[in-house]
Amino acid sequence: RTTAPRLTVIGTGYLGATHAICMAVLGFEVLGVDVDRTKVERLAAGEVPFFEPGLPELLRKALDSGRLRFGTDFAEAAAFGDVHFVCVGTPQAPDSDAADLTYVRSAVRRLAENLDRKALVVGKSTVPVGTAAELTALVHEVAPAGEEVELAWNPEFLREGFAVQDTMNPDRLVFGVGSEWAEQQLRAAFAPVVEAHGTPVLVMDLPTAELVKVAANSFLATKISYINAMAEVCEATGADVTALAGALAHDARIGGRFLRPGLGFGGGCLPKDIRAFKHRAQELGVGQAVTFLGEVDAINKRRRARTVDLVRELAGGSLDGARIAAWGAAFKPDSDDIRDAPALDVAVLLQDAGAQVTVYDPEAMDNARRAYPQLSYADSAMDAARDADVVVLLTEWAQFREVDPEILAGVVAHRRVVDGRHALDRDLWSSAGWEYRALGRP
């Protein structure tokens, strides 16, 4: 690919590392840049600093090809790249629901200060609508090449646990651009993806591209909270939300994906994205249009409290001194991410209510230990369950589904299980003598 653009990826966290690695594997020369020297050194040494299936193998392949490098120098990035992808985080601000744009602003500024020739800066981070316009002004002000530098927005929809697949073969590519030239640059950067899979490319203006991402995540969060709201109604009527969801899923207009009831959503995206969107809409004077996102958030949080109630009920009405095995810490299976993890929230609520909680997670133990040193941890699902009064499944890892309830019965004090994710086979567990409870099921 002699005419292929050279790419830089600014920010080598979850999104940036995956993007840099995949683009190098697809044949581009890529430089990954981060202010965090340790992160950069680990990646350069072939070590992915987080859990993501398939990514370590691709990192080694990309490094072996000689097309992927990592560094901390923005001047080097500016000199090297034709297209610069900005992949830094936009966490929730410490004191409000707004997104914290500090990292995006500083990454774009530090890069732009060094851009002395025509280049494209492409935002990938999830941002409040209007950020691209603000950053365009910033780039034009500080870049030595001035208005020669253009800004585009290319939102990223990757899911943790499927990051490689979602990057190599996305459902669609969204290009928010202000010129024909910017569109051509992005088409060149994604040519291998589109050639391999015929991926639909949707070209639009910048604010629409920014909105696609928050609108998509808001829809997904709403779908989950919708079925969880139905679970609340089910509990009041003796109906079964898993049967309800299964029947709704057969309507092709509704569909079964993101309709799994349970403990609700967490992670580094959905919770903060709906809050930031609501905040931004208020700033824009259209807060009313998305008031429902506050409800979506509230329903989601109620699931955590309700799970604690179910455990308390099973424990005989009080959690004081109850020994609870908490299976799962990550916000979802196949991830070591504990950001806004419903599982750990529930574990802490149980402990605050007087329970002795022992947590086990297949991948998120180190992160959990660091963030919640007050909880106890075990080395396996079985160890966590030793002498437990109640076992509560909080993250639906495959290994928890596969546990034999007959064998587990031999280690617990009482055969009582709360299935926070509808992951266990109720009939199997009941016939092994377990008292089984799940959100939204009789």
Residues that bind ligand UDX (CB under 6 A): 156-160, 217, 220, 224, 258-260, 262, 264-267, 269-270, 331-332
d(CA 143, CA 367): 39
Q: Around Cβ 94, how many Cβ atoms within 10 Å?
A: 6
Half-sphere exposure of 80 (CA within 13 A, CB side): 25
To the question of whether residue 401 is assigned a binding role by annotation, the answer is no
Least separation in angstroms between residue 159's CB and ligand UDX is: 4
Residue closer to ligand UDX (CB basis): 192 or 262:
262
Residue closer to ligand UDX (CB basis): 9 or 112:
9
To the question of whether residue 261 is assigned a binding role by annotation, the answer is yes
Cα 375–318–331 angle (5° rounding)?
Answer: 40
To the question of whether residue 74 is assigned a binding role by annotation, the answer is no
**269 is an active site residue:** yes
Residue closer to ligand UDX (CB basis): 312 or 422:
422
Q: Around Cβ 93, how many Cβ atoms within 10 Å?
A: 16
Q: Which of 243, 249, 342, 307 is nearest to 439 (CA)?
A: 307
d(CA 371, CA 165): 30
d(CA 50, CA 54): 12
To the question of whether residue 131 is assigned a binding role by annotation, the answer is no
To the question of whether residue 117 is assigned a binding role by annotation, the answer is no
By CB neighbour count within 10 A (0-12 exposed, 13-18 middle, 19+ buried), where does 302 fall?
middle
Least separation in angstroms between residue 85's CB and ligand UDX is: 15
The β-bridge relationship of strands 323-327 and 390-393 is parallel
To the question of whether residue 223 is assigned a binding role by annotation, the answer is no
To the question of whether residue 39 is assigned a binding role by annotation, the answer is yes
Least separation in angstroms between residue 319's CB and ligand UDX is: 24
Of 22, 87, 234, 269, catalytic: 269
Least separation in angstroms between residue 111's CB and ligand UDX is: 23
Say if residues 5 and 83 touch (Cβ distance below 8 Å).
yes
Residue closer to ligand UDX (CB basis): 157 or 377:
157
Helices within 250-341 (DSSP H only): 270-283, 292-314
Residue closer to ligand UDX (CB basis): 328 or 405:
328
CB contact set of 441 (below 8 Å; sequence gap of 6+): 234, 240, 241, 242, 422, 426
d(CA 189, CA 200): 15
Least separation in angstroms between residue 429's CB and ligand UDX is: 21
Residue closer to ligand UDX (CB basis): 115 or 163:
163
To the question of whether residue 259 is assigned a binding role by annotation, the answer is yes
Say if residues 174 and 126 touch (Cβ distance below 8 Å).
no
Least separation in angstroms between residue 77's CB and ligand UDX is: 24
d(CA 274, CA 133): 21
Helices within 113-160 (DSSP H only): 131-142
Annotated binding site for substrate: 157-160, 213, 258-262, 266, 332
Question: Which residues are known catalytic residues?
Answer: 269
